[in-house]
Amino acid sequence: MLESGGPVGLAAATSMRTIGNPLNSSVVLRHSRGSVVASFTLGLRLCTAVLSAAALLRLALQTLIVGLVPGETNLNAAIGKLANGLPVAIKQAMDILRVTGNSAVHPSELRLDDAPDTVQSLFGLLNLIAENQIAEPARIAAMYEALPDTARAQIERRDGSSPADPAAGK
């Protein structure tokens, strides 16, 4: 189970929470002010439900990314814009969710026959992305803000920057 609060600078989803077993879960994305941006309840019943879960997880990823790349409605383009600042594994996790979700809606050569394992892995990837893009930066920003003012000022002088914006590191 993951529950994380994010930096105030995100425009949309700033926390994500999965509730229960990944094979029968709810995903809730919240705005920094507490309002629900999107909520998906995924009760899986094997084959057709796996396709639905993959498609909804892709939608959850897109909802989360709207906060990271405001104004970009194309998920592939948004991932591309984030790519330079992302760890390779996070970019790959985003692409796996995007491609798998697209294939669930428009079947091509990707097969989702290994139902429960695939869905559980996809939930894990979405949690990993939310942890990396929302929870970790929020924890680090809170710790940075707890440093003494003189130490932060020295760091900012060293880096040639004005007072640090926790969201600027994104």
Q: Identify the domain containing residue 104 by its residue range.
A: 46-156
Position 38 in a domain: no
Please tell me the total count of domains within the chain. 1
Q: Which residue has the tokens 């926390």?
A: 15
- Asked if residue 39 has pLDDT above 60, the reply is no
Are residues 18 and 123 in contact, defined by beta-carbon separation less than 8 angstroms?
yes
Task: Flag whether the pTM goes above 0.75.
Answer: no
> In 46-148, where does DSSP find H-type helix?
47-68, 75-82, 88-105, 115-130, 136-145
Are residues 14 and 32 in contact, defined by beta-carbon separation less than 8 angstroms?
yes
- Per residue in 56-71, pLDDT (tens digit) is 899 899 988 888 888 8
Position 135 in a domain: yes
- Per residue in 122-148, pLDDT (tens digit) is 889 999 999 999 899 999 999 999 999
Tally Cβ neighbours within 10 Å of residue 73.
9
Position 93 in a domain: yes
Position 130 in a domain: yes
Tally Cβ neighbours within 10 Å of residue 138.
21
- Per residue in 150-162, pLDDT (tens digit) is 999 999 999 997 6
Position 169 in a domain: no
- Per residue in 77-131, pLDDT (tens digit) is 999 999 888 999 999 999 999 998 888 776 665 555 545 677 888 889 999 999 9
Position 12 in a domain: no
Q: Average pLDDT in the 4-17 region?
A: 39
The rounded distance, in Å, linking the Cα atoms of 30 and 88 is 26
Position 29 in a domain: no
